Amino acid sequence: MHWMLLIIAGLFEVGFATCLGKAKLSVGSVAAWWYVGFVVSLSISMLLLMKASESIPIGTAYAVWTGIGAAGTVLVGIFLFKEPVTFWRIFFITTLIASIVGLKYVAN
Cα–Cα distance for residue pair 97/51, rounded to 1 Å: 22
Alpha helix segments (H runs only) across 25-85: 28-52, 58-79
Cα–Cα distance for residue pair 72/10, rounded to 1 Å: 8
Which of these, 7, 107, 100, lies nearest to 48 by C-alpha position? 7
Q: Tens digits of per-residue pLDDT, 6-45?
A: 999 999 999 999 999 999 999 999 999 999 999 999 999 9
- How many structural domains compose the chain? 1
pTM score, whole prediction: 0.89
| pLDDT exceeds cutoff 70 at 108 | no
Q: Tens digits of per-residue pLDDT, 80-94?
A: 999 999 999 999 999
Domain that holds residue 46: 2-106
